[in-house]
Amino acid sequence: MKISQTFMPTLREVPGDAVIASHRLMLRAAMMRKLANGLFAYLPLGLRSFRKVENIIREEMNAIGALEAKPTVIVPGEIWKESGRWDTMGEALLRIKNRQDADLVASPTAEEAFTALLRDEVSSYRQLPLTMYQINTKYRDEIRPRYGVMRGREFTMKDGYSYHTSEESLDDVYQAMGRAYRRIFKRCGLTVIPVKADTGAMGGTGSEEFMVESEIGDNTLILCRDCDYAANVEKAACKPDFEAPASIEAAKAAAAQTPAREKIDTPAVRTIEELCAFLKTDAKQFIKTLIYRGINVEADLSAAPGGSKLEKKSLAPDAPKTYPEAFFAVCIRGDLDVNETKLAAAIKASEVSLASDADVERFTGAPVGFAGPVGLRDIPVIADDSVTAMADAVTGALEKDKHYIHAAYGRDFEPWLVTDIRTVVAGDRCSVCGGELYEKKGNELGHIFKLGNKYTKSMNFRYLDADGKSQIPTMGCYGIGLDRTLASVIEEHHDDDGIVWPMTVAPYHVMIVPIKYDGAVREAADSLAAELEAAGIEVLLDDRDERPGVKFKDADLIGIPLRVVVGEKNLPKVEVKKRTEKESRLTELSAAAAELTGIVRSELAGLNG
Amino acid sequence: MKISQTFMPTLREVPGDAVIASHRLMLRAAMMRKLANGLFAYLPLGLRSFRKVENIIREEMNAIGALEAKPTVIVPGEIWKESGRWDTMGEALLRIKNRQDADLVASPTAEEAFTALLRDEVSSYRQLPLTMYQINTKYRDEIRPRYGVMRGREFTMKDGYSYHTSEESLDDVYQAMGRAYRRIFKRCGLTVIPVKADTGAMGGTGSEEFMVESEIGDNTLILCRDCDYAANVEKAACKPDFEAPASIEAAKAAAAQTPAREKIDTPAVRTIEELCAFLKTDAKQFIKTLIYRGINVEADLSAAPGGSKLEKKSLAPDAPKTYPEAFFAVCIRGDLDVNETKLAAAIKASEVSLASDADVERFTGAPVGFAGPVGLRDIPVIADDSVTAMADAVTGALEKDKHYIHAAYGRDFEPWLVTDIRTVVAGDRCSVCGGELYEKKGNELGHIFKLGNKYTKSMNFRYLDADGKSQIPTMGCYGIGLDRTLASVIEEHHDDDGIVWPMTVAPYHVMIVPIKYDGAVREAADSLAAELEAAGIEVLLDDRDERPGVKFKDADLIGIPLRVVVGEKNLPKVEVKKRTEKESRLTELSAAAAELTGIVRSELAGLNG
């Protein structure tokens, strides 16, 4: 392809809102343009790389037997109401009314569409397992789209869904997907950090996120310096830095050494720091107690303090019964922080948030700042594991300006639930090997997830098993964001001059730059291009009437892996340079095509192999 | 691919609303399923053929130098307001509000998106011409979707747009597109009727529609039995069946033979038929006069009757000034019908419709039924060419129960405009060769169109010409509906048993049907499949444990071009049958792969060549 015959408006300057490298470089290298906030158009050059990512994903999906289908982008709101997500998805779901006032949804994912499609087709266990996917347009009504295609409103996703008669069958496909995802990212030249949710305390094998390190990442990752432990901070666990008693009896026995609990005056003390200064102790001695509000709580509270007053309700006809709202007192050692994702998981809530000051007063009988587990009624106490080792602690006394000292777990209070709700931070120790944990910011490119029967149950997908009994299949879902994957390749592969494409996703393999596209130089450039193209090599030929400096700058910017400079003074030799290297070298024009073809094939094989 | 490893739920029965063959067969052959009214999901088998159509289109677009890009499906409403189509597109435009209350549009076409994208990139004549296209999801909020993917709400379209500095340059691309479209449809095995709008009286070379014959077609086509004349009835012209005078003077001279005009009583006469019976004459003697209302009329009416009272206005800041509403008296020979598309073109109106009874009375001074061109004031008279030959006619006298006889064109009235506004019907004579015209119903698969500067002007796309002067590019647009093309292939290629795919768009080339997939038969089937696949032939192998009858029925239904039956009794021979033929023949298993590969390649070459 000659540059004069394509459309490649490269830019020297970029808009100030392009703060990350991939956003800047995709604009500068004429890969894409902004149509509106969060809406981007791929230009021809960008679309070539986009299609290569798409094809890599398609090949790997087909290789594990996933079947490609194509539902619509805009789907009936009805099926989102069936699954319950019409109500729970929030405002990021783009809801549409058509001319007949029917509800539609611009799909952000397609659990509903595939489940609706297949529940009418599958009636027997013989038709399962079934793994289908699409590579299609998605929409999220992001409140604040930014970073170019990294977080746009419209984007392309490969989303797959599998249906199974057993957990084993789901696990087979889940594992195959995990392997396929690793191959996909490797082929794209990406270093991903697979983050399992089954590491450490969380148990289960249900979810794996594929992250890339990114200064603007949405996610905080916790990694171990000594082993390959990696987890999203939302779910990360660590090795306890305390000695937990073996049982509550052991805790009570340990507490026998502790002086009796004593209520003391703590006037004008507002923060933990002030309290520690006042008592000349440190935060590790303090039991921090926070009142949380849970929404749609599935955990059974019938035997919990105050639980008998609560009533479970169904939000939708087929939805499970939950407590629409429930409050909890959450205790943790004073130097640690509560992890709300773990807390929500522990009580099976769709959402948790700190209670209002009024609710704190209602449950603790005191203003904010004096909550503690001792003497609390009508509210279940949840304690982090760290609290179990606290046999002589300071904590709020449920009265203004009063605290207890010498409070002991087991003796002075018994929580309703003890579990890990601690937020792991850099410096904590690895739960696997004891190594030091550290933090990275990451962006999620892909996610594989065992969904269970959430959708198949609410949407009434049933099949007959071998005994003729009606069953509900279990389900998995598997997504990759294409635009974000492409942008991440650029994040990982660029330098100050521009993009440095891996061969597999480069828009072209070889760029030919004639110093002046004329006479013998033109002839040499054309014949080299023809020879390469005949060998299946993708060539971009800079036939523009521009100064060599401009052409070299553009070549570096758009980052084609191999550059060949054809100039009069070197003929019959040409100058070959890899984008990854500083130095070029001369090679005979007559041998150049074979040499370049060899490099292209070997780099492709290296990444694809 | 083995059937057991794909998802191919063929059906014996189909829903009653599937009235056309392609809709029925796409459901029965497991190509697609309905998600909701007008929304269809392609299943794996259907998606394979869909992608083949897509690739044929992409190859032909790339071959003529069109550049593929990818704007978003959902675009800002802002650009549709700039072009004016936000207001003029009617309810078929799916308008969306996002969470920030901004207007969005689910694109039905993308003149706006491409023009908005390129106006910011193109500043010089050196960057033009530029032809870009996308193959992307589109949405039309059809009031009554039907016929399966033939008229769905969401669909896929290849839509291309070109921008030029001259009419000649536009014409070059327009002609190349026309040739590419012919190749695309030929490669898909489709017989299309290219319908030019430049035939006959309309002049110009601005539009060509690619139609397929269809009993449920939206369009009526007028074709000649003797030459290749073909036109949409909206624009079709015919050879006049009257002798028009050379000039109005000649008409006046001819009228000298006619007795003086006379007003007669025509009591209780309501229709032309009644009038003809009453006067013992026929409809050809009658000048039918209809009052029409035009919307957004661009024609200059300043010198027309009543025109000085009208005022032109701009609907949008950059939109041309038009008359928001204007009325016309339209005359035509009594046996003919007014063609509203031609009428709208003649007065450059966005829409025309018959005036209300009240408006008829206002302009004619009489109730409906007594309009005529003689003595009309304050309204421009438009006459069809047929009226010019009427030197002794009957027409309404602008009074209840009164008509004129002996009314003569030129002598008794002079229209403001005389032009062709006749609806051509079967039996009329061809304007090119005089042959007999006939009618067909057709569906439009593609359309190429010279748009001029409608979008570039309203959206302020400007470039500097060679003299440094600011200019507005002229524009063309070029669309093909992919889903409709695929469905039309099935309409043209099926029989009572199922689809009969052309090789180029068949989901697989060869179907292998083992009578019982076991032992030597299984080995033979597997090895044949492997050999074919190694040669690049796409094979579907029916490895199901079904009766041969079921397998044969499904093979006919899904219509793979070549079927190979492998049965114990014939081995080492196998039975080869083309889907187009009734009879099969035996061939040596050892020679089968080479033979089948030969047929596949030769059929592909025949269609692609």
**Residue A361: CB partners within 8 Å, gap ≥ 6?**
A367, A368
Q: With contacts defined as CB-CB under 8 Å, which chain B residues touch A154?
A: 72-74
Res. A203 pLDDT band, cuts 50 70 90? very low
Give the gap in angstroms from C-alpha A215 to the nearest C-alpha of chain B: 27
Interface test with B, best of A98, A123, A127, A153 (most B CBs within 10 A): A98
Chain A, nearest residue to B155 by Cα? A72
Q: Could you give the percent of chain A with pLDDT greater than 70? A: 98
Q: Indicate yes or no: CB of A47 within 8 angstroms of CB of B69.
A: yes
Domain membership of residue A312 (yes or no) is: yes
Instruction: Express each pLDDT in A363-386 by its tens digit.
Output: 999 999 999 999 998 999 999 999
Clarify whether residues A233 and A127 are in a common domain.
yes
Q: Indicate yes or no: CB of A98 within 8 angstroms of CB of B99.
A: no
Residue B14, helix vs strand vs coil = coil
Q: Could you give the percent of chain B with pLDDT greater than 90? A: 84
Clarify whether residues B200 and B333 are in a common domain.
no
Q: With contacts defined as CB-CB under 8 Å, which chain A residues touch B123?
A: none
Residue B53 identity (one-letter amino acid): V
Clarify whether residues B274 and B372 are in a common domain.
yes
Res. A514 pLDDT band, cuts 50 70 90? very high
Clarify whether residues A168 and A261 are in a common domain.
no
Q: Report the distance separating Cα A565 and Cα B216, nearest Å.
A: 59
Per-residue pLDDT, B203 = 38
Instruction: Express each pLDDT in A77-115 by its tens digit.
Output: 999 999 989 988 888 899 999 999 999 999 999 999 999
Q: Is the pLDDT of residue A265 over 80?
A: yes
What average pLDDT does this structure show over A279-303? 92
Rg for chain B (alpha carbons), in Å? Answer: 30
Clarify whether residues B350 and B256 are in a common domain.
yes
Q: Report the distance separating Cα B517 and Cα B521, nearest Å.
A: 6
Domain membership of residue B336 (yes or no) is: yes
Residue the block writes with tokens 């100030």 = A16
What average pLDDT does this structure show over A513-529? 97
A332 is written with which tokens? Answer: 């943790």
Per-residue pLDDT, B309 = 87
Write the residue in A69, A96, A99 that is nearest to B43 by C-beta.
Answer: A69
Its pTM stands at: 0.89
Chain B, nearest residue to A9 by Cα? B121
Q: With contacts defined as CB-CB under 8 Å, which chain B residues touch A40?
A: 72
What average pLDDT does this structure show over B281-302? 93
**ipTM (interface pTM):** 0.88
Q: Please tell me if residue A545 touches chain B, with a CB cutoff of 8 Å.
A: no
Q: Indicate yes or no: CB of A35 within 8 angstroms of CB of B73.
A: no
Q: With contacts defined as CB-CB under 8 Å, which chain B residues touch A69?
A: 7, 41-44, 47
Interface test with A, best of B14, B59, B104 (most A CBs within 10 A): B104
- CATH number of the domain at B599, please: 3.40.50.800
Q: Report the distance separating Cα B411 and Cα B570, nearest Å.
A: 89
Res. B318 pLDDT band, cuts 50 70 90? low
Give the gap in angstroms from C-alpha A463 to the nearest C-alpha of chain B: 15
- CATH number of the domain at B142, please: 3.30.930.10
Concatenated DSSP letters for B273-320? HHHHHHHT--GGGEEEEEEEEEEEE-S--TTSTTGGG---EESSTTSP
Give the gap in angstroms from C-alpha A297 to the nearest C-alpha of chain B: 28
Greatest CA separation found in chain A?
A: 99
Domain membership of residue B559 (yes or no) is: yes
Eight-class DSSP state of B70: B
Please, which residues 67-96 of chain B have a Cβ atom closer than 8 Å to chain A?
67-76, 78, 91-92, 94, 96
Show the CA angle centred on residue A180, arms to residues A176 and A182, nearest 5°: 120
Clarify whether residues B141 and B193 are in a common domain.
yes
Interface test with B, best of A3, A5, A7 (most B CBs within 10 A): A7
Q: Report the distance separating Cα B335 and Cα A274, nearest Å.
A: 101
Res. B16 pLDDT band, cuts 50 70 90? confident
How confident is the prediction for chain B on average, in pLDDT?
Answer: 93
Domain of residue A253: give its range: 248-419
Domain membership of residue A433 (yes or no) is: no
Domain membership of residue A392 (yes or no) is: yes
Instruction: Express each pLDDT in B166-177 by its tens digit.
Output: 999 999 999 999
Nearest to B326 by CA among B417, B226, B223: B417
Final residue in a domain of this structure, among A384, A419, A454: A419
Nearest to B65 by CA among B131, B159, B121: B131
Q: With contacts defined as CB-CB under 8 Å, which chain B residues touch A141?
A: 98-99
Per-residue pLDDT, A316 = 64
Interface test with B, best of A32, A99, A163 (most B CBs within 10 A): A99
Q: Indicate yes or no: CB of B6 within 8 angstroms of CB of A69.
A: no
Q: Is the pLDDT of residue A204 over 50?
A: no
Clarify whether residues B24 and B92 are in a common domain.
yes
B449 is written with which tokens? Answer: 């169109």
Per-residue pLDDT, A90 = 80
Q: Indicate yes or no: CB of B75 within 8 angstroms of CB of A35.
A: yes
Chain A, nearest residue to B1 by Cα? A65
Residue B345, helix vs strand vs coil = helix
Final residue in a domain of this structure, among A430, A457, A489: A489
Write the residue in A43, A71, A78 that is nearest to B41 by C-beta.
Answer: A71
Domain membership of residue A557 (yes or no) is: yes
What average pLDDT does this structure show over B125-135? 97
Clarify whether residues A229 and A369 are in a common domain.
no
Q: Please tell me if residue A267 touches chain B, with a CB cutoff of 8 Å.
A: no
Q: Please tell me if residue B434 touches chain A, with a CB cutoff of 8 Å.
A: no
Q: Indicate yes or no: CB of B141 within 8 angstroms of CB of A72.
A: no
Clarify whether residues B520 and B600 are in a common domain.
yes
Per-residue pLDDT, A235 = 87
Please, which residues 151-170 of chain A have a Cβ atom closer than 8 Å to chain B?
153-154
- Strands in A585-588's sheet, in edge-to-edge order, are A539-541, A510-514, A562-566, A573-578, A585-588
Write the residue in B117, B127, B141 that is nearest to A99 by C-beta.
Answer: B141
Q: Please tell me if residue A33 touches chain B, with a CB cutoff of 8 Å.
A: yes
Q: Could you give the number of structural domains in chain B? A: 3
Domain membership of residue A21 (yes or no) is: no
Chain B, nearest residue to A33 by Cα? B117
Q: Is the pLDDT of residue B415 over 80?
A: yes
Res. B317 pLDDT band, cuts 50 70 90? low
Clarify whether residues A253 and A328 are in a common domain.
yes
Chain B, nearest residue to A105 by Cα? B96
Chain A, nearest residue to B138 by Cα? A73
Helix axes A589-608, A519-534, angle to 10 degrees: 40
Instruction: Express each pLDDT in A4-30 by its tens digit.
Output: 999 999 999 887 888 899 999 999 999
Res. A205 pLDDT band, cuts 50 70 90? low
Nearest to B6 by CA among B31, B41, B39, B40: B31
Instruction: Express each pLDDT in B533-585 by its tens digit.
Output: 999 999 999 999 999 999 999 999 999 999 999 999 999 999 999 999 999 99
Among A148-162, A494-508, B295-309, B592-606, which stretch is predicted with the lowest mean pLDDT? Answer: B295-309
Give the gap in angstroms from C-alpha A504 to the nearest C-alpha of chain B: 20
How confident is the prediction for chain A on average, in pLDDT?
Answer: 93
Per-residue pLDDT, B475 = 96
Q: Indicate yes or no: CB of A154 within 8 angstroms of CB of B72.
A: yes
Instruction: Express each pLDDT in A115-165 by its tens digit.
Output: 999 999 999 999 999 999 999 999 999 988 989 999 999 999 999 999 999
- CATH number of the domain at A373, please: 3.90.960.10
CB B65 within 8 Å of CB B181 = no
Chain A, nearest residue to B37 by Cα? A76
Q: Indicate yes or no: CB of B96 within 8 angstroms of CB of A117.
A: no
Please, which residues 379-418 of chain B have a Cβ atom closer than 8 Å to chain A?
none
A342 is written with which tokens? Answer: 């773990």
Q: Indicate yes or no: CB of B70 within 8 angstroms of CB of A153.
A: no
Q: With contacts defined as CB-CB under 8 Å, which chain A residues touch B93?
A: none
Sign of CA dihedral B497, B502, B506, B512: positive
Res. B201 pLDDT band, cuts 50 70 90? very low
Instruction: Express each pLDDT in B76-108 by its tens digit.
Output: 999 999 998 998 888 889 999 999 999 999 999
A235 is written with which tokens? Answer: 């779910």
Q: Is the pLDDT of residue A285 over 60?
A: yes
Res. B319 pLDDT band, cuts 50 70 90? low
Which helix or strand (DSSP H or E) is residue A438 part of? strand A437-452
Per-residue pLDDT, A202 = 37
Q: Indicate yes or no: CB of B137 within 8 angstroms of CB of A137.
A: yes
Clarify whether residues A229 and A267 are in a common domain.
no
Domain membership of residue A204 (yes or no) is: yes
Interface test with B, best of A73, A114, A538 (most B CBs within 10 A): A73
Q: Is the pLDDT of residue B200 over 60?
A: no
Q: Is the pLDDT of residue A191 over 70?
A: yes
Q: With contacts defined as CB-CB under 8 Å, which chain B residues touch A106?
A: 74, 96, 106
Q: Indicate yes or no: CB of A68 within 8 angstroms of CB of B75.
A: no
Show the CA angle centred on residue A230, arms to residues A229 and A231, nearest 5°: 130
Clarify whether residues A402 and A452 are in a common domain.
no
CB B104 within 8 Å of CB B95 = yes
